[in-house]
Structure 1
Amino acid sequence: MAHRGRVLLVRRSETERFLPRVWGVPCGKLEPGESPRDGVLRELKEETGLLGHVVRKVGESSFVSQYRGHEVKNWQDNFLVSPLSFDVTLPHPDQDHRWLTPGELDTVEIDDYNREIVGQALSRLRTR
């Protein structure tokens, strides 16, 4: 999610199994039969309460996670989304959010994976 040269980052809850308390972009898994574009908007609404408009796909990324004792390779399509609403509502009280410029990314604990995703979106913002 990007607006006026800033990107929305959300700090994950301490109760999350994957990357607790780390800052990153809202993301999630597709429901059966759901398109990636529909999934990104659903996950945005579920994780932030925001409505958005998909501008374009900006890239892809992959990561390995553990599921029931096995390594699972995950594939993610990354989209640039413009907000249609601005009242962020997070599902857990220990979460936080910030709209950050590229120069402010180092002010939060963001992992390399999310930094790459943000970089994909920012590079597309500059070429719009």
Structure 2
Amino acid sequence: MRVLTPRSNCLLVAAVIVHDKATNRVVLLQRSENAKFAQGMWDLPVGKSEPGEPITETAVRELYEETGLTVKPESLKVAHVIHGARGVEAPNGFLTVVFATHEWTGEPENREPRKHSQVCWVDTKAIPEAFVDTTASALHRYLTGGRPVSLDGWH
């Protein structure tokens, strides 16, 4: 069996949809004016994988670092995959694995105020329009049962 790994120059990213099915809300964050990209835009909790780190651990770590919410890796289900041809800090492309979870502990808080202006629950019927395109598409497709893979920047 051959093991496939992302090219070393392709950025590997994890995003997490924390979905409270009882209230039909998701945890979102708004990027601050100091963010590296998409200043002022809404987004999912998302971040880059560290060398040697499994993607599920990236998701758990980034979610906690950004929101204070704790999830177990086994509670994460793959909701969507985004393959981008290029992006900020990823001139050779990126692969984002978007996970969904319905199990967490804690209440969302803004743990990175330099990067985010707010972290909060948002009703799925009131998702802000000023949203990072790739993760907005992934969230919409997750909520509507759409295709689980999207391409960004490919011809």
Q: Could you state the TM-score of these two structures normalised by the residue count of structure 2? A: 0.68
The answer to whether the aligner puts 1:26 opposite 2:45 as a matched pair is: yes
1:79 to partner: Cα distance: 0.3
Identify the residue that residue 83 of structure 2 maps to in structure 1: 62
Q: Name the aligned partner's letter for residue 116 of structure 1.
A: S
* Separation in structure 2 between the aligned mates of residue 26 and residue 39 of structure 1, nearest angstrom: 11
Q: Name the aligned partner's letter for residue 80 of structure 1.
A: A
Identify the residue that residue 136 of structure 2 maps to in structure 1: 115
The answer to whether the aligner puts 1:43 opposite 2:62 as a matched pair is: yes
* Separation in structure 1 between the aligned mates of residue 91 and residue 49 of structure 2, nearest angstrom: 19
Identify the residue that residue 103 of structure 1 maps to in structure 2: 125
Identify the residue that residue 97 of structure 2 maps to in structure 1: 77
* Separation in structure 1 between the aligned mates of residue 141 and residue 55 of structure 2, nearest angstrom: 17
1:37-77: per-residue Cα shift (whole Å, max 9, x none)?
Answer: 1110000011111112333111100232144xx83311111
1:87 to partner: Cα distance: 4.2
Q: Could you state the TM-score of these two structures normalised by the residue count of structure 1? A: 0.81
Aligned-partner SS, 1:95: strand
- Give the ranges of 4+ consecutive aligned residues of structure 1 lying more than 6 Å apart after TM superposition: none
Q: Which runs of no fewer than 5 residues in structure 2 stay unpaired?
A: 1-17, 146-155
* Separation in structure 1 between the aligned mates of residue 58 and residue 144 of structure 2, nearest angstrom: 23
* Separation in structure 2 between the aligned mates of residue 101 and residue 120 of structure 1, nearest angstrom: 16
Q: Which runs of no fewer than 5 residues in structure 1 stay unpaired?
A: none
The answer to whether the aligner puts 1:11 opposite 2:33 as a matched pair is: no
Number of aligned residue pairs: give it. Answer: 121
1:57-108: per-residue Cα shift (whole Å, max 9, x none)?
Answer: 11100232144xx8331111110023221142331166112312221014x5
Structure with the higher fraction of residues in helix conformation? 1
* Separation in structure 2 between the aligned mates of residue 87 and residue 98 of structure 1, nearest angstrom: 6
Instruction: Please tell me whether the aligned partners of residues 79 and 121 of structure 1 are also in contact (alpha carbons under 8 angstroms).
Output: no
1:2-60: per-residue Cα shift (whole Å, max 9, x none)?
Answer: 11321111001211111111100011111111111111000001111111233311110
Instruction: Please tell me whether the aligned partners of residues 110 and 119 of structure 2 are also in contact (alpha carbons under 8 angstroms).
Output: no
